[in-house]
Amino acid sequence: MFRILITTSLVALAALTSVAQPFKTDPRDLDFIQISDDVHVAFRPDPLRYWVEGNVTIILNETDVVVVDGSGSNRSARQVIDYISSLTDNPVTVLINTHGHGDHTVGNSEYVRTFPGIEIISRQETYDYLTGSGIGYVADIAKSVESRKEAGEAEMARVIAEASPGFEKVVANLRQYYEHDIDIRQQAYREAVIAPPTITVEDGVTLHRGKRTIEVRYLGPGDTHGDLVVFLPQDHIVATGDMVVHPFPYGFSRHALDWANTLDSLAALDFDTLIPGHGEVQHGKSYLRKVQSLLRYVQHEVNAAIDDGLTEDETLARVDLSSYRDQFAGDDPVVCYYFDEYFAHPNVRRTYQSIVASREASSP
């Protein structure tokens, strides 16, 4: 058996040679799209290239600009600022952080440097995260990436050994990060200065800009406990941060049960366009409905597994998400890989943990 595994791996490595490509582009480079007369979105063309880069929403007003999320590096934030300057002479006066994760906030400092007096709005949880230990991984990566590279080598070896259909593309995706992008990330984090919010809100705040209303709303926990959404009622546009991402949801939320309920409140808003935290802008509510269905299905299946006395690991093995994987990922091996790694495995585990904790809390 050992000899067969080695032979398979050698064949796999030979196959990888034919798909490996030189790494030339910078993972911080953004594209831009205009989605209405005065609303633009900055995005990274490949949302599954790691490290990930959050979408940025640009709202052009009569006398100022409001931006939703601050990018994941100084370079990406500078690209957004330069793009804004090509559209208007008005300053950015407000930056809204939908949540604290670094791919949405590390670039805050570039806005502070460029627009003195800018206000940064978030929930208190995001402020605490950015001023506490929550974003400590930025300093860790700035100091060393060797352990992460070793973990990456182990993961690539695992994918090669399993040799699932299309595994070569998965390994090429991983190689791009661990052999190229991670070094760019380290340098970016060495240059990073964390700029925390200057205003925190509880339920939200409404900004009035001429005829436009910008509603910053707290609908409940989503990807984090402090998620905010930004709703433009006249434009029928909502920016969700990582509460909704495309091409599939991130499953790392520690508030898995609350998240599904929060999406019900999001779906009740009168919007035609949804700007997710990552990935393609969505029109209508069909994608959101698909995410809601997925989360409810996981909750149902995990509840049933717990009723049957299964452990967390046994539940993970039993919950079958293949039909949903087909819906979200199709036959793209890279999307399938990340559907499992970024959604299925973490969400099943955290749903299990949340249900067990809820049952224990309610028992006499």
String of DSSP letters for 243-290: TS-SSS-----S-HHHHHHHHHHHHTS--SEEEESSS--EESSHHHHH
pLDDT digits (tens, 9 = 90+) for 228-241: 999 999 999 999 99
Select from 75, 143, 134, 160 the least CA-distant residue to 109: 75
pLDDT digits (tens, 9 = 90+) for 57-96: 999 999 999 999 999 999 999 999 999 999 999 999 999 9
- Which residues neighbour 315 within 8 Å (Cβ) at sequence distance 6 or greater? 302, 305, 306, 348, 352
The pLDDT value recorded for residue 23 is 63
Q: How many residues does the chain have?
A: 364
Select from 123, 121, 58 the least CA-distant residue to 91: 58
Select from 314, 269, 322 the least CA-distant residue to 297: 322
- Asked if pLDDT for residue 5 goes beyond 80, the answer is no
The pLDDT value recorded for residue 285 is 98
Homologous superfamily of the 1-283 domain (CATH) = Ribonuclease Z/Hydroxyacylglutathione hydrolase-like (3.60.15.10)
Q: What is the mean pLDDT of the chain?
A: 93
- Asked if pLDDT for residue 7 goes beyond 80, the answer is no
Distance from C-alpha of 213 to C-alpha of 92, rounded to nearest angstrom = 16
The pLDDT value recorded for residue 22 is 54
The pLDDT value recorded for residue 363 is 81
The pLDDT value recorded for residue 11 is 39
- Asked if pLDDT for residue 114 goes beyond 80, the answer is yes
- Asked if pLDDT for residue 8 goes beyond 70, the answer is no
Query: At 354, which helix (H) or strand (E)?
Result: helix 345-362
Q: What is the pTM of this model?
A: 0.93
- Asked if pLDDT for residue 150 goes beyond 70, the answer is yes
Side chain identity at 307, as an amino acid letter? D
Query: Inter-axis angle of helices 286-307 and 345-362, to 10 degrees?
Result: 60
Q: Are 248 and 335 in contact (CB under 8 A)?
A: yes
- Asked if pLDDT for residue 342 goes beyond 70, the answer is yes
Distance from C-alpha of 188 to C-alpha of 86, rounded to nearest angstrom = 25
- Asked if pLDDT for residue 346 goes beyond 70, the answer is yes
The pLDDT value recorded for residue 17 is 40
pLDDT digits (tens, 9 = 90+) for 267-324: 999 999 999 999 999 999 999 999 999 999 999 999 999 999 999 999 999 999 999 9
16-20, 117-121, 267-271: range with lowest mean pLDDT: 16-20
Rg (CA), the chain: 21
Please, what is the Cα angle at 141 between 343 and 158, to 5 degrees? 45
- Asked if pLDDT for residue 10 goes beyond 70, the answer is no
Confidence category of residue 21, pLDDT binned at 50, 70, 90: low
String of DSSP letters for 213-246: EEEEE--S-SSSTT--EEEETTTTEEEEETTS-S
**Percentage of the chain with pLDDT > 70?**
93
- Which residues neighbour 148 within 8 Å (Cβ) at sequence distance 6 or greater? 141, 178, 182
- How many C-beta atoms surround the C-beta of residue 324 within 10 A? 19
